[in-house]
Amino acid sequence: MGTGANHRTAAIWLWPEFAAYLGPSLHLDAHATAVNCYALGVDSPFDLFVDDRHRRVRSALIPARTAHRVIAGTGRMLFFYHFSADRPTHPDEAAVLAHLTGTPDPRSLCRLILGDHPAVPRDPRIARAVEMLTRAPEAANSAAEIAAALHLSRSYFLHLFTVHTGTSFRRYRLWARLIRAGRSLAEGHELTRAAADAGFASPSHFSDTFHALFGLTATALLTTGPRIVVPDDLADPRTGLAAISSIRPVDRESRGVGHGAGPSMSSV
């Protein structure tokens, strides 16, 4: 089976540290993502509102924790979410658009957008913290507990975490839990089970978090019938992702996970 999205069906790709949505534009409220978001109007430009600024752009790199709103027309949008161990740079818009004229290859898409940015934080202590959060996001690991395990004070750990990931510990933990919820949905579980699997205190906590980070509710996204594609392994897609033939697309007619994130805009 293919791993891409056609012009009618949305696709969501989930890795432990990254996620991508490709499909019809969505009606999004203002929100602020936990990690960086690269937004691209695949078929046409879109309107981006940040603070009191409004720009019509074809693509934008929106930093983590930046409140914004995306208003698009009826064409397709790509939203690629990632944290960066270095200051992120704007991808080559023309190259990404050219790639999306055919069937998207998730590995190639990642390489085009992420380039040669380090796959993990340069500080091995923060890299270890990120690994702990992504591999067991449902665990009730507090910043104080992880800091103690790394032999750091809580305040210094939180400072290092933000410096090396570009987002806060709290936001990244929420991000990791949302990715885990998405994987649970891909396994066939309902939203309530997915929220519990990911460590959310309640379905309402999951719903509120999803809306705050992506600009719409999970239920609203799921009603669009996206396809969730989950790699079989946990490797970085630029260096060790399983071969495309071993990536399993999960067709969910009424389930999914999803999206949205000043910004660096092409033409700004």
| DSSP assigned state of 244 | G
Burial of 47: CB neighbours in 10 Å, binned 0-12, 13-18, 19+? middle
Residue 132 in domain: no
What pLDDT does residue 266 have? Answer: 41
* Strand arrangement of the beta sheet that strand 53-57 belongs to: 53-57, 46-50, 68-71
Looking at the structure of the chain, the number of domains it has is 1
User: Nearest 5°: CA angle at 40, between 34 and 42?
Assistant: 145
Mean per-residue pLDDT, 32-46 = 96
Residue 151 in domain: no
What pLDDT does residue 130 have? Answer: 93
Residue 99 in domain: yes
**How far apart (Å, rounded) are the C-alpha atoms in residues 11 and 152?**
40
260: left (phi over 0), alpha (psi -120 to 50) or beta: left
Residue 260 in domain: yes
Q: Are strands 76-82 and 227-230 parallel, antiparallel or unpaired?
A: unpaired
Tell me: the pLDDT tens digits for 48-85?
999 889 999 999 999 999 999 999 988 999 999 998 76
Tell me: the pLDDT tens digits for 171-204?
999 999 999 999 999 999 999 999 999 999 999 9
Pick from 70, 74, 72: nearest CA to 61:
70
Residue 203 in domain: yes
Query: Range of 30's domain?
Result: 11-119+175-265
Residue 80 in domain: yes
**How far apart (Å, rounded) are the C-alpha atoms in residues 32 and 211?**
9
| Full-model pTM | 0.83
- Is residue 121 within 8 Å of 85, Cβ to Cβ? yes
Helix (H) or strand (E) holding 70: strand 68-71
| DSSP assigned state of 238 | T
User: Nearest 5°: CA angle at 92, between 91 and 93?
Assistant: 100
What pLDDT does residue 236 have? Answer: 52
Residue 257 in domain: yes
What pLDDT does residue 178 have? Answer: 94
Q: Which residue has the higher pLDDT, 80 or 265?
A: 80
Residue 136 in domain: no
Compute the radius of gyration of the chain from its Cα atoms: 17
CATH number of domain containing 91: 2.60.120.10
**How far apart (Å, rounded) are the C-alpha atoms in residues 115 and 137?**
26
Helix, strand, coil % in the chain, rounded to nearest 5: 35, 20, 45
Tell me: the pLDDT tens digits for 112-160?
998 876 667 889 999 999 999 988 999 978 999 999 999 999 999 999 9
Instruction: State the average pLDDT for the chain.
Output: 83
